[in-house]
Amino acid sequence: MIDIRILGSGRALASWLAVIGGLAAPVGVRAACNAVPTTTETIRAAVGSVSRPFARSSGAADDVELLPSCDSPALEDANGDGAVDGKDFFVSVFFKPPGSKGRLVVLSGGAGCGDLQCGGKAPHCVDAPGPYLVVNKETGRLRFRFPETDGLLGPAGDGRGLTGPVAIAVTAVGKPLPCGLRTSRCIAQPGSPKQYFCIDDLFVDASGPAKCDTGRASQRTTFAGFTALPASNDYRRVCGDSEGEPRCADDASSIQMTVDSAGNVGLPMRWGSALRARPGDPGRKDNRRLKASTVESRARANTKPIDVPNSSYLASFTPEGRRWDRQPLFAPVAPGRSGRSRELTLEGTADEPESVLWFHRRLPWRYECKGGARAGQACAQKSAPPDCPGGSCRPTARAVYYTCHGGKRSGAPCTRGNDCGANARCMPGSRCVAWATGTQTPKGCSTDADCSAAEECGPGLFEFRDRMTAGGGPIVVDRDGSPSRPGVCRTGPKKGEACTSANECEGKRCVRFRAQAGAYTAATTSRR
């Protein structure tokens, strides 16, 4: 289980349960807090840029804005009515869950759906004129409302829609839909039909010759590709133990999350109902300590609990996918301190209505000890005590993957020498791994670019890409344990012991996750 205490001044952070991603701050990643940057942020894709890395496909109304970049085609009057507006375009949203058949949802800006076809079948089409598909001819931007998909994945009304990796393409009305995106990537699409925007893989910002590069070396780590998130989980319904008001409702039967194309886990959370209003400022919430844990295993073939070595693998973002200006601590708790040896435990605080928790599966690192007893090992700047006794922690020329050499975590990912234990080292380099099977090859590597398209550099902390609900739905973790999915006793004399039913817990509940809402802290944070 994940045991999460969210410490520090945080912005809707309480993160518990899940798994990780990206080039993070060297010392501790802080989870949902404080002010949102006022500048517009964009993320480069294969054709054009996008305003956010994810959007919720159920229970929300998230708008996605597409912007021109790197010579993407100018928007045109496709229907010949003298205006460049939403009626000129179709927005095709391809939901592409790993290892299974995807789904296509087409948005029309008022031109109707007609007899659209993909693979001989009519896709689900929504005619969404007006504010749901808007074009700005002067700036070349197009904004659309991300589709609600609860009704496409039965039963309707259960709050579960299509999730996971997504490809978005904008084409002209009267032209064929870009059906090739069902099985291929934007960078592999032919020139016809013309795609004004094509968003799937997401790339780092660069300058010079690499400004528009779409090679593997330029792909982002934290957000490898655009992702459809499930509906937000309500923490008050999830938590079972309370210290103060509001009390935990303890009536959620499950939690839901998803993965991006690289296997990082996104967990949208709603904290507001579990937080009290700040006295004298009802528009703000007081900081509350939160803690959660889960017995969810690292992989289907590895039943050990998820092992997150440090907070660099954890991150928290605004619902729009931006980092908080000042973020509260969001950190794993070592089993020896948490007392939950069968669970992954996290801790932190929350003082904002909602956030998206991100768990990096793997993480390239670019800080290394120069000189001293740990020369050549990965390190975190400004760590206490220092990671590089007798030396200094300096940035390297490029980010690479580090793994433990020796110790109990030998071969496992790391970003600090302390991740590997006594008499072990966190050193650069690993071996290419076939991600579909987890099989390690003899080929050495420093980055994913050193491996084939079906491989990645080094092992991950977990593998959840094969746990999505059939048909492309979210990853669902049920609260109650069962013979096929064991849990731990939540309370009582056998608290924390393995179980498959309440009978093994002397009548107490056998659970796969547990969470609590603790005391309020004196710390405050600025408004976003």
Reduce the secondary structure of 297-345 to three states and give it as a string.
EEECCEEEECCCCCHHHEEEECCCCCECCCCCEEEECCHHHHCCCCCEE
32, 13 contact by CB (below 8 A): yes
Residue 312: HSE in the Cβ half-sphere, 13 Å Cα cutoff = 27
DSSP annotation of 151 reads G
Q: What angle do CA 364, 368, 373 make, to 5 degrees?
A: 140
Q: What does the pLDDT read at residue 17? A: 35
Query: Residue 283's CB: how many other CB atoms inside 10 A?
Result: 7
What is the reported pTM?
0.90
How far is the C-alpha of 521 from the C-alpha of 463, rounded, in Å?
Answer: 35
Q: What does the pLDDT read at residue 524? A: 56
Structure tokens at 391: 């030396």
**Beta sheet of 43-44, edge-to-edge order:** 43-44, 49-50, 63-67, 141-145, 133-136
Structure tokens at 112: 């109707």
| CB burial string 331-367: b at 16+ within 10 A, e below | bbbebeebebebbbbbbbbbbbbbbbbbbbbbbbbbb
How far is the C-alpha of 148 from the C-alpha of 279, rounded, in Å?
Answer: 37
Q: What does the pLDDT read at residue 448? A: 94
* Local mean pLDDT, 10-residue blocks, the chain (528 residues): 37 36 32 38 94 95 94 94 96 92 92 90 89 93 95 86 97 94 91 91 84 90 96 97 95 97 96 93 89 94 92 94 78 88 93 94 96 96 89 96 96 95 95 90 96 94 93 94 96 95 95 96 58
Q: What does the pLDDT read at residue 388? A: 96
Q: What does the pLDDT read at residue 154? A: 77
